[in-house]
């Protein structure tokens, strides 16, 4: 039975089960930010009501053990800076995450993803942690590499990112398995991701 903790501490951050009154902070920090929500599977929130509704769905999914969402809170100033989720499917957890733009590039999400993978594999029934990201979302791909996940391939027309287009887009699929954990850790970006990052810079 999936029964993850309601709170989890990392070096600089704390994950906790969200509460409805987090809506204001989530809305202000990232849910309305079109840059942050570009590659997520939900529409940018227009009002804090949208955020409250989203939190209601998250909390009922937690009760049903279908998926778990944690608010990411920075220890230093107790500020809510993002969210990470694990969707449960049998022996698998699929991760999704988002972070306020002001906090990008400090290694926060790598720290969170690494900790959640560690915690996932403490559950006897979980054998695979995986996630997808848009083929243009190289920051997210890099987070997964740094957290010890490996690219399995490209899933064609996999995800709709409604803030970009209604047409499903290709996604990179990354995973780590309980058996392989630790054996595939990469510190430097993979050659493939280096080349993709270079090509994206040329296109910009
Ligand atoms: C993706 C996201 C969570 C990353 O969070 P973060 O805390 O900034 O990530 P980290 O600092 O741990 O690592 C980011 C890495 O990506 C790299 N990176 C950032 N932008 C990049 C880009 N455009 N191209 C290639 N690499 C990039 C950074 O240099 C860093 O790698 P490095 O440590 O080797 O230098 C954050 O950018 C975000 O919330 N984006 C919007 C929501 C989103 O896309 N969520 C994922 C949906 S799949």
In tens, the pLDDT along 39-97 reads 999 999 999 999 999 999 999 999 999 999 999 999 999 999 999 999 999 999 999 99
* Nearest ligand 1 atom, CA 100: 39
Whether 139 has a pLDDT exceeding 80, the answer reads: yes
Cα(98)–Cα(35) distance, rounded to whole angstroms? 11
Pocket of ligand 1 (CB under 6 A): 36, 39-40, 97-99, 104-110, 133, 137-140, 142-143, 189, 197, 200
Token pair of 20 as six digits = 């409805």
Q: What is the pTM of this model?
A: 0.94
Cα(126)–Cα(138) distance, rounded to whole angstroms? 27
- For ligand 1, the distance from its centroid to the CA atom of residue 138, given in whole angstroms, is 7
Domains of the chain from N-terminus onward: 7-203 (3.40.630.30)
């Amino acid at each position: 039975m999936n029964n993850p903790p309601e709170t989890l501490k990392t070096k600089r951050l704390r994950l906790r089960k969200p509460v409805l009154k987090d809506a204001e902070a989530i809305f202000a920090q990232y849910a309305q930010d079109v840059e942050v929500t570009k590659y997520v599977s939900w529409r940018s929130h227009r009002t804090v009501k949208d955020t409250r509704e989203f939190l209601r769905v998250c909390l009922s999914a937690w009760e049903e053990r279908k998926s778990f969402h944690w608010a990411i809170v920075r220890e230093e100033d107790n500020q809510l800076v993002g969210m990470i989720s694990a969707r449960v499917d049998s022996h698998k957890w699929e991760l999704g995450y988002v972070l306020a733009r002001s906090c990008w590039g400090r290694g926060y999400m790598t720290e969170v993803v690494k900790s959640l993978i560690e915690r996932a594999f403490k559950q006897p029934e979980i054998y695979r942690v995986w996630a997808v990201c848009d083929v243009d979302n190289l920051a997210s791909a890099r987070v997964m590499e740094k957290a010890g996940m490996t690219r399995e391939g490209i899933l064609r027309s996999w995800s709709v990112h409604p803030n970009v287009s209604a047409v499903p887009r290709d996604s990179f699929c990354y995973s780590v398995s309980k058996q392989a954990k630790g054996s595939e850790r990469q510190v430097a970006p993979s050659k493939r991701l280096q080349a993709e990052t270079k090509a994206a810079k040329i296109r910009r």
